[in-house]
Structure 1
Amino acid sequence: MEITIESVETPALTKAHLADLLFEQIGLNKRESKDMVEAFFDLIVSRLVAGEDVKISGFGNFQIRTKAARPGRNPRTGEAIPIGPRRVATFHASAKLKEQISGSIPTEPTEVEWNLGSEA
């Protein structure tokens, strides 16, 4: 099954847009589509909060990393500020995703037609 994205109105793909794509291309109703997207992300979040890694084959790995406390600095005032220990989520793309991304760069320049609204 291949899901295509014809046009994205915003520069980012949103959860609402993902739900719309499930509705349009898979045939789920709108409520099921929204619930599926929410459940997917809720599952990822709950696993990360529990300290577990999330591995999605062909896409990448989400991991929790614990950062140690360190000294920081307020860039405006120069005042030293302690930064406490914290957990952060990281994402590492899979080799397959990296290959797909790097393969999508055109090797030769393509001709672009500009329509500046000068049609009569």
Structure 2
Amino acid sequence: MNRKDLVETMARETGLTAGQADAALTAALDGVAAAVAAGERVTLPGFGTFERRSRAARTGRNPQTGEVLEIEASQAPAFKPAAAFKQAVAGR
């Protein structure tokens, strides 16, 4: 499923026009991204939790040359699915 398919599904399920569903999806995704970027956790019961996780600095290796590299500490988005979502995916 891509964005267009999701917008069409949202429009069909809610009775919104495709344009309204696209605007709603954009607003929701922008809100989640902004909150996670600000360090907040976004919890959607039955679906999962989005959060920002810290990655420590570490030593890596260039696979082509074997050269040792220092990888800087960073922040990365993470998603932890809710139990209901895991069960739905597993077909239970």
State the TM-score, normalizing by the size of structure 1.
0.71
Greater fraction of residues in strand: 2
The one-letter code sitting in structure 1 at the alignment partner of 2:74 is R
Structure-2 residue corresponding to 1:32: 20
Secondary structure (helix, strand or coil) at the match of 2:46 reads coil
Unaligned runs of 5+ in 1: 1-12, 106-120
Secondary structure (helix, strand or coil) at the match of 2:40 reads coil
CA deviations 1:50-104 (Å, max 9, x no partner) are 00011110011111111111111100110011110100111111111122222x1
Structure-2 residue corresponding to 1:85: 73
Structure-to-structure mapping, 1:1-120, within 5 angstroms: 13-102=1-90, 104=91
Write out the 4+ residue segments of structure 1 that deviate beyond 4 Å after TM superposition.
Answer: none
Secondary structure (helix, strand or coil) at the match of 1:58 reads coil
Greater fraction of residues in helix: 2
The one-letter code sitting in structure 2 at the alignment partner of 1:36 is A
How far apart are the structure 2 equivalents of 1:37 and 1:51? 21
**Structure with larger Rg:** 1
Q: Which of the pair has the greater relative contact order for Cα pairs under 8 Å at 6+ separation?
A: 2
Percent of paired sites with the same residue: 30
> How many residue pairs get matched?
92
User: How far apart are residue 16 of structure 1 and its match?
Assistant: 1.8
User: How far apart are residue 22 of structure 1 and its match?
Assistant: 1.8
How far apart are the structure 1 equivalents of 2:50 and 2:20? 25
RMSD: 1.3
